[in-house]
């Protein structure tokens, strides 16, 4: 029995290089007898008038799997929706790094045959829930798979804020902002900011200061169940809260940003032989094994 029967395809239509593998993917899935639905913009690239088309992911589609053709940014955008619906997500890499997308177009059909037959692993990735409060009243919210970044927005001035973890005061800081990252996001913006790499299986959150006006401020790793509060200073007139580099919340001076782990995880599908460390070696340029004479040293 096939673990996946009803599959949705979503592509990053802004990438011209997705068209050819997307058409191949449609032909392959139809030939193998899968029920395929296309996101409306994706359908324009395929030019297939026989497959059903949808505008938004919802429960009525009764999907077993969503396949994204694109890069990590596309996976993040779709991932926030499928996590809520508890639909697993698989990525065909047409981006640059591809930490989340491990199906390669050159050997796509052979890799997919194994995955769709059940030869895969599931990696559960937790999301962050963000709420923005003003004078004790919640005024906005958001979600992030990679990270939440509090920053000065269009202003070139440093911002001021206070950090609280589990209602305990940690520090006040003047800096270019703060990155609050999941393990999934630890290889993204947080890594560029000097943060540590966290294995995806860790139940932890990393906080990375951005250019702090002190030499003693360093990244901090806290438990995944921690409640994080960032209270903005009264001079932060142009601050922004950016989720996954895609969605912005606009706070005002004195607002409070609360960040916590979302209970419903994102289920990523990977090939059975997928290795996080091998991905790091490939994507980050880590050194490969030494000669056989040095392996035991």
Are 105 and 205 part of one and the same domain?
no
Q: Of 55, 58, 64, 72, which is the active-site residue?
A: 72
List pLDDT tens digits, range 21-45.
999 999 999 999 999 999 999 999 9
Instruction: Give φ, ψ of 232 to 5 degrees.
Output: -75, 145
List pLDDT tens digits, range 200-256.
999 999 999 999 998 889 999 999 999 999 999 998 888 999 999 999 999 999 999
> 103-108 — which CB contacts under 8 Å span 24+ positions?
103/271, 105/20, 105/21, 105/24, 108/21, 108/24, 108/25, 108/28
Paired tokens of 205: 């959150």
Paired tokens of 124: 């559960």
Average pLDDT over residues 119-129: 97
Residue 64, in any domain of the structure = yes
Backbone φ/ψ region at 135: left (φ over 0), alpha (ψ -120 to 50), beta: left
Residue 140, in any domain of the structure = yes
List pLDDT tens digits, range 125-144.
999 999 999 999 999 999 99
Are 65 and 151 part of one and the same domain?
no
The CATH number for 73's domain is: 3.40.50.10330
Q: What SS3 class is residue 139?
A: strand
- Residue 4 pLDDT level (bands cut at 50, 70, 90): very high
Query: What's the 3-state SS for 174-200?
Result: EECCEEEECCHHHHCHHHHCCCCCCCC
Write down the residue that tokens 């040095």 correspond to: 294
What residue numbers bound the domain in which 43 lies? 6-126+265-284
Q: Which residues pair with 68 in a beta bridge?
A: 10, 91
Residue 297, in any domain of the structure = no
Number of domains in the chain: 2
CB 205 within 8 A of CB 226: yes
Residue 70 CA to residue 47 CA, distance in Å, equals 18
Are 54 and 156 part of one and the same domain?
no
The pTM assigned to this predicted structure is 0.93
Are 104 and 137 part of one and the same domain?
no
Residue 296, in any domain of the structure = no
203 is known as an active-site residue: no
Are 242 and 270 part of one and the same domain?
no
Average pLDDT over residues 116-130: 96
CA atoms within 13 Å, Cβ hemisphere of 149: 21
Average pLDDT over residues 179-188: 97
Are 133 and 121 part of one and the same domain?
no
């Amino acid at each position: 029995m096939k673990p996946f029967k009803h599959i949705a395809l979503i592509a990053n239509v802004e990438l011209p290089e997705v068209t050819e593998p997307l058409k191949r993917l449609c032909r392959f899935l139809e030939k193998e007898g899968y029920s395929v639905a296309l996101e409306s913009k994706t359908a324009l690239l395929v030019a297939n008038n026989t497959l059903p088309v949808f505008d938004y992911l919802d429960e009525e589609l009764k999907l077993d799997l969503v396949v994204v053709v694109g890069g990590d940014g596309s996976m993040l955008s779709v991932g926030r929706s499928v996590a809520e619906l508890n639909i697993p997500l698989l990525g065909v890499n047409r981006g640059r790094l591809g930490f989340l997308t491990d199906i390669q177009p050159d050997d796509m059909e052979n890799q997919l045959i194994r995955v769709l037959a059940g030869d895969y692993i599931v990696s559960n990735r937790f999301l962050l829930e963000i709420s923005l409060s003003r004078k004790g009243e919640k005024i906005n919210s958001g979600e992030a798979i990679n990270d939440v970044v509090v920053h000065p927005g269009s202003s070139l001035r440093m911002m001021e804020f206070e950090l609280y973890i589990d209602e305990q005061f940690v520090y006040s800081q003047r800096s270019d902002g703060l990155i609050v990252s999941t393990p999934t996001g630890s290889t993204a913006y947080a890594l560029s900011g000097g943060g540590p790499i966290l294995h995806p299986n860790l139940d932890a959150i990393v906080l990375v200061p951005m250019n702090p006006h002190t030499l003693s401020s360093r990244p901090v790793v806290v438990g995944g169940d921690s409640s994080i509060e960032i209270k903005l200073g009264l001079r932060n007139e142009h601050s922004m809260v950016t989720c996954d580099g895609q969605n912005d919340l606009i706070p005002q001076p004195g607002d409070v940003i609360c960040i916590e782990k979302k209970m419903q995880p994102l289920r990523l599908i990977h090939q059975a032989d997928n290795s996080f460390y091998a991905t790091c070696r490939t994507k980050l340029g880590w050194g490969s094994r030494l000669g056989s004479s040095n392996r035991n040293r």
